[in-house]
Structure 1
Amino acid sequence: MAAYKDVFGARTTLESAYGPIRYYRLATLAQHGIQGLDRLPFTVKIILENMLRHADGELITEEDIRSLANWAPGKAGSSNAEYPFLPARVLLQDFTGVPAVADLAAMRSAVARMNGDPRKINPLVPADLVIDHSVQVDTFGSTLAFQRNVEREYERNSERYALLRWAQEAFDNFRVVPPGTGIVHQVNLEYLATVVMTRKDGDETIAYPDTLVGTDSHTTMINGLGVLGWGVGGIEAEAVLLGQPLYLLTPEVIGMRLTGSLPAGTTATDLVLTVTQMLRKRGVVAKFVEFTGPGLSQLGLADRATIANMSPEFGATATLFPVDAVTLGYLRDTGRDAKLVELVEKYTKEQGLFRTDESPEPLFDDLLELDLSTIEPSLAGPRRPQDRVALQDLGKTFRSVYADRLKTEQAEVAAASNGHKKGVSVEVGGMQTQVKHGSVAIAAITSCTNTSNPSVMVAAGLLAKRAVERGLSVSPAVKTSLAPGSRAVIDYLSKADLLPYLEALRFHLVGFGCTTCIGNSGPLLEPVAEAIQDNDLVVAAVLSGNRNFEGRIHPQVRASFLASPPLVVAYALAGTVDIDLTHEPIGTDINGDKVYLRELWPSQEEVREVISKSLTPEVFAQNYAHVFEGDENWQSLSNTTGTLFEWNPESTYVREPPFFQNMSSEPAPVKDIHGARVLVMVDDSITTDHISPAGSFAAASPAGQYLQEHGVQRRDFNTYGARRGNHEVMVRGTFGNIRLRNRLTPDKEGYYTVHLPDGEQTTIYEASERYQKDGVPLLVIAGKEYGSGSSRDWAAKGPLLLGIQAVIAESFERIHRSNLVGMGVLPLQFRPGESKESLGLTGHEVYDIQGIEGELKPHKEVTVKVTREDGSTFTFQTIARLDSAIDVTYYQNGGILLAVMRKLLKG
């Protein structure tokens, strides 16, 4: 990265245990006539420091600094300003990280073909990749579960892992945390994040806030530590890796003021479900949330991280908890270096980035208030994380939501002496049990949201201990699992002698990584699956996760409820969600006495006592001492050395991406588009889920056919996520959503279109192959909000590989528009008041797009000439959504990756 400049004369010295350190002092701006910095939200101050440090008069100007420094409530809605933001680092997980690494590896291969030095291709900012998304719960309820799941994980993913193992050795500024270590966000919280970072600038060391973007939406968890970070798509992450800025609109910051403290019997999970409900109701999509108020001092760091983790569930970009005494305590408790902790304290206090109860409260665009003493035990579901349900109402909610499915049994329920439908008998492991409506089929202590939080993990262990001592057990029909976010969790549970009690209830360790929460729950036991299928039962999952969209957890489990880890154990013991655990017994002990949840629930004092004895800095220091080394499986991977990656043309997981094939040192002039056909015509609110392949796929799909042709059995298909490193799979799945409605095939949903002019109905992929063979450029025509939803790199990469050169829409989701430009696909916007309907477009026409050649500038009007099937023609104007000069440069280069690569080669 280039050396820092000092446009405002803000560079000054801070004495630290590391010696003198230089930093860019925000208070210096007061000397330039800028007032009121102490009332800015901490979020805005962090972004402002980033701009002040990088201000060079070109990328970031004095005018940009003044504009953001004069931030005021309500300004965001009236401002069209965009601010360059250069995150300090990038965080990747393996599903989304593999394509980024494959692109970097392909860039090296391309440079070598051009007789350049491939070692020039490296991440320009520090990047960490944590492998955590590939473990599945194939084996559970056994002390062998972890070992067997790891073995199966390597069987499925060794080709992908070989690429990452190679990258670990080949790239500078790039570290990989091998499988079986932990969940990316918890590893980030416990080890990777430093709160304040340093780097050399000539002979001096510069200190600055730790900021990041990550390729997982729950990157926001790190905001609990006072580190500003959020999730982005793969293309944006690659851009940051290669030294390019993100562009932020004027931040809109919603404050949430906390007072009071959590009452006995509640957990951070109960709090986060309440916060999620409140913020979703307020509407904070694409906004920043920042916590404030005296109640913050009553909230532990792990509790803060639990809330920040859920930012995607309430729609916020990020949810910041400013640095304070609690932050410093957590850094010490997790074994961070004492010199670092001292630097964090000194730097943040000098910069006005340290919060105390006496600090001036920032001004916000809006302020919500929450009294922590009002929090009650809760779950969320059965289909959305924002649908909070009070503990006592769970059974009633379940019956209400699924009333249509249950109404045929009302008479049977009324006649039953216990008020519940008699279950279907199944035999599991030689034991007879029953499965019925409301039965808990999956009980999973999983996900980064809660497994980073010692208070709820210890509470789960204490509840299990009391249950075992009372002689309670879990039905063998319940698929139980324990998938902590890091190895430290197992260490402190073992040290507290709580792990044996969890194992006695069959909550055995199944892996360190994302499991049930992302759908990696693995198969149900066959007798249970058959009973559900044959009797059309509505069964439930209870998990300590953050997402429970219908069908996400398991295709046979219709109801999914998010809950704290101790409640996961409780519902596993109860065996049903059709129950009120505040009044009904959870089970019967060995003496035949009823056992109630209140008898098993540990007090806050008990939890704190266990944590104080078992959770020490040494636990974290020992676990992270060799965090990048990996086990023997990792060490024995082949094809992992050398400057260039050895691409295997037979691999079905990792193939050299084609974006840099036949690349020239200079870009060819962009040209108008002639004779284009419409491949897909869609209506409003087409999301990246409609465009980008995700989840599993059928054998009859183009992707399924491709794998079978390459000798892959159906049981080994894995998912699109696991195969993101193979563009042949991904392009075949683009626009492959089974609910896609393409106007060219109005009688069919899914991946179909019509090949023109012959009118033959075929798959989108097959039609694109025929068009590309004939040299016919392709278009997408859409309505409003094209590309809404989560940012996904393959929502732009896939269309490019299908031969789509432009998308004409009424409006674009901001990040997806940027991603299209980043891949060299031209976004064109209808003029206000015009649409495909008003212009009478059917998608059967031939299109010429004129005005791309010559002087191309932001928002240039581009003419579209349409030739109807009868030979008549007409034209309409569109606006080229190249919104800045850098957009024009990217498009002229064929995308951001090619633009950056050419720049690196010249450098």
Structure 2
Amino acid sequence: MAENNPYNKYLKTLTVGSKEYIYYDLSSLGEQYNRLPYSIRILLESVVRNCDNFSVKDQDVQNVLNWETNQDSQDGVEIPFKPARVILQDFTGVPAVVDFAAMRDAVKDLGGNPEKINPICPADLVIDHSVQVDFARSSDALQKNQDLEFERNFERFMFLKWGAKAFNNMLIVPPGSGIVHQVNLEYLARVVFTGTRKPILYPDTVVGTDSHTTMINGLGVLGWGVGGIEAEAVMLGQAITMLLPQVVGYKLYGTLGQYVTSTDLVLTITKHLRQIGVVGKFVEFYGSGVSALSIADRATISNMCPEYGATVGFFPADETSLSYLRQTNRSEEQVKLIEGYLLATKQMRNYASEENPIFSQTFGLDLSTVVSSVSGPKRPNDRVSVSDMKNDFISCLTNKIGFKGFGLTKEKVETRAKFMFDGKPYTIGHGSVIIAAITSCTNTSNPSVMLGAGLLAKKAVEAGLTVEPYIKTSLSPGSGVVTYYLRESGVIPALEQLGFGVVGYGCMTCIGNSGGIDENIANAIEQNDLVCCGVLSGNRNFEGRVHPNTRANYLASPLLVIAYAIAGRVDIDFETEPLGTKADGTKIFLRDIWPTRREIQTVEQQHVIPAMFKEVYAKIENGSSQWQKMKAPDGKLYPWSNESTYIKKPPFFDGMTRDLPSPKPIQNARVLLFLGDSVTTDHISPAGSIGRSSPAARFLASKGLTPKEFNSYGSRRGNDAIMARGTFANIRLVNKFMSKSGPTTLYLPNNEEMDIFDCAQRYAISNVPLIIIAGKDYGTGSSRDWAAKGPFLLGVRAVIAESFERIHRSNLVGMGLIPLQFLPGENADTLGLTGKEVYNIELPENLKPLDRITVSTDTGKKFKVLLRFETEVDLLFYRHGGILNYMVRKMLS
């Protein structure tokens, strides 16, 4: 709130109890405010409160207020947005803290005060991405996994503990606490913020370095994922520059069936919204059907927002939101404050009301039409009803290779393989379940599906059903509260009996931290080219993500994860095929053990109580005894070690000067990779295990490490030498230069095949700039700053694609890379490009956002592309060589 803010005349006083607060009464802006979608009201409050006619101008306020007209502007209307806070997880948080530490060094080296580099905007970092399922199906699996997590990640954890002390305004939540988005929902979210210097109230808004930050929208907190680089700028007090979004209203009506779960609902919505096309838009849910959804149900839908492509999937706060805050042990004083503010500013929703704001478009879903569903085998938006699952999987086997096909010949479909496990013989085939994991924030934040899984497990055990011992089963709760209510409701013994004992508190299998599988099984799969399966209650199932040996992966509710684990295969028709047979010959079907919504709700009301949240979160910031004993360095500058293979000072500021560099044209560039559609951030910068023959493995071996010490790419994101070598190291990467998938490419001057990193190094010796050519949706998937940093370190200057995922485009800009888009109707094929040409890209001095610029080749081809710098700020970052360099120069000035 600036002193010279022209909107201070709209400040009003709100009394809650004995305290007085001030807030901006936006309804004073006129009838236009009442017509705005609730999500846009929050954007409007931000620009009103931060209006200083410098970084946020009066025109910005008018632009948001006139959303109804501006949202449909052909060129887009850009606005600044200052979130209330930033949230990070450790895979993306470690490199952010590394960058902050390196920025301090850069400021010091250039004669400035390094202590100026601090988060100005509050930042919370939850360590949840490091723990792996190394041990499962044993009573000591949890302790062993946590011990190994500390052993592997000691350097990273020590560095983060240093950061917690060295930087102001940064909270580090220690490992073993839960999944970032669930901790955010249950503990960190404020819903309404109170200013630190003045008692001003304003909406809680958040950006995060994980694409599923959107989960918090289920509670009425506006939040979304941004690039790690962009998040660092926000932490340093910068506004996000964004295009005023269209808002799609999505009406929910009717009632869910007794046997339908929130997972079934979200997979249905995800497929529908992906078909509609909501990329870059806000989706705001409304309608009477929302009233029947718990906050956990809404959060599940909001969590999957990146999978349907929207920026946010927003549920405005209502009475259910307030009840949830009470249930999760927020104080009554805080809840009254939140309620008072939301009512005063007309941000409190009544979903039963027929009065709705104006939306850009409206769509809807009758909840009664939702059926039991899974999604896969390679994408979250490929929903399959469980009743169709058997036939769908069988057809996938012989379909041509693609999102719904594996390209097997009919002769290979019947292939079976035998192997030994614990001294006993077993047989598997296509469709056999190898990994079954109840994991990820999508579901483990939701008591209804977690308790549902527990009740199903209990009935299964009572019926004598079992899970084959070779299937790697696991349960990784989103927070300690989940274990608490599962234990209190008496379902833990049954879950453990089926192999679903608690193995850790973190994302685990959902992000590829599934750990190894038995070598005999792996050999059987590889030698017989089997399409074996992972079934997980997560939110991502892209190729190569879950495990190298599970070529098909299906997202499912925790209940169905257990059901498919019992069945041992995905090609089962639960309606006609039993899960097992009792001693008396009676067949046991899935319907016999499936709990109703009413059964689940009864147990939930009994056992999910505020006392649990109070007990779990009272000690969350203390961490385990291992965390407490860990000694971190003192001092404001980090003492970098040349011996460390985890934490290394990055080269982003090497040779940097105070003066702005002159932009260089891209001339005589070579194509490093020639890619197709839907290249994900997992393809570009994998988070999983480090392949033993990869450039990263060779580097680690040169440092004296053995393969068992390699850990994962995700855990080594604080070391640029490893991450550069791990760029494009996904075994499922399809490069059109090569005859088979994998992390190799051609060194074009002599057509020599080599690892991508080695090829880039060869080009670097000759100072040859590199580009990447790709198809549609380049950079989909998890928000990963290394998916931009890695190509930058390989010498990539530009990416030419048919379209870009929103966050990844922003990350490319943040690293000074140029995102270029083929014009509508054009792509590499229509232009006759082979990728083997030499390219020149014109970059005139007077570049403007969304310019059309010329690309030419040595073969005489010339074509226009769209410059995907969308704002003047994007251009500013590019001219500085990236957002981090810009921030360093800004701090110096």
Q: TM-score, normalised by structure 2?
A: 0.90
Partners of 2:521 and 2:742 lie apart in 1 by 32
- Give the deviation of 1:451 after TM superposition: 0.8
Shift of 1:209: 0.9
Tell me, yes or no, if the aligned pair for 1:684 and 1:786 is still in contact at 8 Å.
no
Task: Kindly provide the amino acid, as one letter, of the partner of residue 191 in structure 1.
Answer: Y
Q: d(CA) in 2 for partners of 1:525 and 1:517?
A: 19
> Are 1:582 and 2:575 matched, yes or no?
yes
Do the aligned residues in 1 keep the contact of 2:814 with 2:884 (CA within 8 Å)? yes
Confirm or deny that 1:363 pairs with 2:355. no
Q: Aligned partner of 2:271: which letter?
A: Q
Are 2:801 and 1:801 aligned?
A: no
Residue 765 of structure 2 is aligned to residue 778 of structure 1 = no
Aligned pair in 2 of structure 1 residues 278, 820: CA closer, same or farther (>3 Å)? closer
Matched, 1:266 2:253: no
Shift of 1:539: 3.0
With over 3 angstroms needed to count, the CA separation of the structure-2 counterparts of 1:640 and 1:633, relative to structure 1, is: farther
Deviations 1:31-57 (A, max 9, x none): xxxx33223211111111111111222
Alpha-carbon distance change, 887 to 777 in structure 1, aligned in 2, over 3 angstroms? farther
Q: What's 2:401 paired with?
A: none
2:82–2:234 Cα contact (<8 Å) kept? yes
Counterpart position of 1:216: 210
Measured after TM superposition, the shift of residue 519 of structure 1 is 1.9
> Within 2, Cα distance between the matches of 1:799 and 1:426?
41
Alpha carbons of 1:571 and 1:206: their partners in 2 closer, same or farther (altered >3 Å)? Answer: same
**Match for residue 137 of structure 2 among 130, 137, 141:** 141
Q: Which residue in the other structure is 1:384 paired with?
A: 379
Q: SS of the residue aligned with 2:374?
A: strand
Whether 2:167 is the aligned partner of 1:171: answer yes
Alpha-carbon offset, residue 848 of structure 1:
9.2
Alpha carbons 1:255, 1:366 under 8 Å: kept: yes
Q: Tell me if structure 2 keeps the 8 A contact 1:702–1:732.
A: yes
Report the secondary structure of 1:480's partner residue: strand
Counterpart mapping for 1:721-732 below 5 A: 721-732=714-725
Deviation digits for residues 62-120 of structure 1 (CA, Å, limit 9, x no counterpart): 22222222222894353521111111111111111111110001112233444543322
Q: What is the root-mean-square deviation of aligned Cα atoms in Å? A: 3.5
For residue 265 of structure 2, give the secondary structure of its aligned residue in structure 1. helix
1:720 is the counterpart of 2:716: no
One-letter code aligned to 2:361: D
After the TM superposition, which residues 25-424 of structure 1 pair with which residues of structure 2 at under 5 Å, given as runs?
25-30=25-30, 35-72=31-68, 75-76=71-72, 78-114=74-110, 116-201=112-197, 204-356=198-350, 357-358=352-353, 360-403=355-398, 405=408, 407-408=410-411
Residue deviations 1:526-565, cap 9 Å, x none? 4433443444443332221222233332222233222221
1:886/1:846 CA distance change after superposition, 3 Å: closer
1:24 maps to a residue whose letter is Y
Matches of 1:842 and 1:622 in 2, distance apart? 59
C-alpha distance in 2 between matches for 1:858 and 1:74 = 18
Q: Is the 8 A contact 1:79 1:250 kept in 2?
A: no
Q: Deviations over 1:604-660 (max 9, x none)?
A: 333222222221101001101121221122223344432222211111121011122
Deviation, structure 1 residue 827: 5.8
1:895 pairs, out of 857, 878, 882, with 882
Quote the sequence identity (%).
Answer: 49
Structure with higher Rg: it is 1
SS in 2 for 1:200: coil
Deviation per residue, 1:446-494 (Å, 9 max, x gap): 1111111111111111122222223322221222111110010001111
Task: Supply the distance in 1 between the matched residues of 2:843 and 2:362 (Cα, whole angstroms).
Answer: 49
Q: Confirm or deny: 8 A CA contact 1:532 1:539 kept in the other structure.
A: yes
Asked whether 1:602 is paired with 2:598, we answer no
Alignment counterpart, residue 611 of structure 2, candidates 592, 612, 618:
618
1:684 Cα deviation from its structure 2 partner? 7.0
Query: 2:449 matched to which residue of 1?
Result: 456
Residue by residue over 1:756-805, the C-alpha shift from the partner in whole angstroms, topping out at 9 and shown as x without a partner, is: 6x88776554455456556x362426477695434532343234333445
The Cα shift of 1:683 comes to: 6.7
Match of 2:474 among 477, 481, 488: 481
Take 1:260 and 1:251, find their aligned partners in 2: how far apart are those partners?
29
Local SS of the residue matching 1:402: helix
**How far has the Cα of 1:902 moved from its partner?**
2.6
Task: Determine the structure 2 residue equivalent to 1:23.
Answer: 23
TM-score normalised by length of structure 1 = 0.89
The superposition leaves residues 382-404 of structure 1 with CA deviations (integer Å, 9 ceiling, x where unpaired) of 33322323333322322232257
1:667, 1:894 within 8 Å by CA — same for their partners in 2? no
The amino acid of 2:151's aligned partner reads E
- Which amino acid is the alignment partner of residue 603 of structure 2? V
Judged with a 3 Å threshold, the aligned counterparts in structure 2 of structure 1 residues 891 and 590 are, in CA distance, closer, same or farther, namely: same
**Distance between the aligned counterparts of 1:720 and 1:274, measured in 2?**
33
- Counterpart selection for 1:819 from 811, 822, 829: 811
Tell me the number of residue pairs that the alignment of Structure 1 and Structure 2 aligns.
881
Structure-2 change in CA distance of 1:828 and 1:392 (3 Å): closer
| Cα displacement (A) at 1:60 | 2.6
Residues 1:762 and 1:607: Cα distance change in structure 2 (over 3 Å)? closer
Shift of 1:570: 2.2
Instruction: Indicate if the aligned counterparts of 2:880 and 2:886 stay in contact, CA closer than 8 A.
Output: yes
CA distance in 1, matches of 2:867, 2:279: 26
CA contact (8 A) 1:98 1:725 kept: yes
Aligned to 2:403: none
Closer, same or farther in 2 for the Cα pair 1:117/1:820, shift >3 Å? same
CA contact (8 A) 1:54 1:60 kept: yes
Q: 1:6 to 1:191 in 2, by over 3 A?
A: farther
Q: How far is the alpha carbon of 1:319 from its aligned partner?
A: 0.5
- 2:709 and 2:320 map into 1 onto residues whose CA distance is 47
The DSSP-based 3-state class of the residue aligned with 2:592 is helix
Change (3 A) 1:115 1:144: same
Seen in structure 2, the aligned counterparts of structure 1 residues 18 and 887 have a Cα distance that, compared at 3 Å, is: farther
**TM-aligned CA deviation for residue 341 of structure 1:** 0.7
Give the AA of the match of 1:823.
M
Q: Which residue of 2 aligns with 1:417?
A: none
Task: Give, in angstroms, the shift of residue 708 of structure 1.
Answer: 1.9
> Structure 1's 668 and 272: CA in aligned 2 closer, same or farther, altered over 3 A?
closer
The answer to whether the aligner puts 1:886 opposite 2:873 as a matched pair is yes
Counterpart-to-counterpart distance in 1, 2:2 and 2:18: 23
Amino acid at match of 2:9: G
Q: CA deviation at 1:585?
A: 2.3
Distance 1:21 1:879, change over 3 A: same
Please give the residue correspondences for 1:389-788 in structure 2 after superposition, counting only pairs within 5 Å. Answer: 389-403=384-398, 405=408, 407-408=410-411, 426-429=419-422, 433-664=426-657, 666-670=658-662, 672-673=664-665, 677-678=669-670, 680=672, 682=674, 687=679, 689=681, 691-692=684-685, 694-736=687-729, 750-754=743-747, 765-766=757-758, 768-769=760-761, 772=764, 776=767, 778-780=769-771, 782=773, 787-788=778-779
TM-aligned CA distance change 1:850 to 1:462, over 3 Å: closer
How much does 1:231 deviate?
Answer: 1.3
Which residue number corresponds to residue 12 of structure 2?
12
SS in 2 for 1:379: strand
Contact 1:693 1:730 in 2 (8 A): no
Distance 1:8 1:272, change over 3 A: same
- Equivalent residue of 2:619, what SS? coil
Q: Partners in 2 of 1:383 and 1:826 — Cα distance?
A: 29
Q: Distance in 2 between matches of 1:900 and 1:345?
A: 38
Question: What is the match of residue 792 of structure 1?
Answer: 784
Rate the CA distance shift 1:19–1:696 in 2: closer, same or farther, 3 A. Answer: same
In the alignment, the residues of structure 1 paired with residue 259 and residue 111 of structure 2 have an alpha-carbon distance, to the nearest angstrom, of 67
Cα separation, 2, equivalents of 1:152 and 1:546: 25
Secondary structure of the residue aligned to 1:56 is coil
Code of the residue aligned with 2:593 in structure 1: it is: L
Q: Distance in 1 between matches of 2:456 and 2:667?
A: 69
Task: Flag structure 2 segments of 5+ consecutive residues without an equivalent.
Answer: 399-406
Shift in Å, 1:179: 1.1
| Counterpart residue number, 1:904 | 891
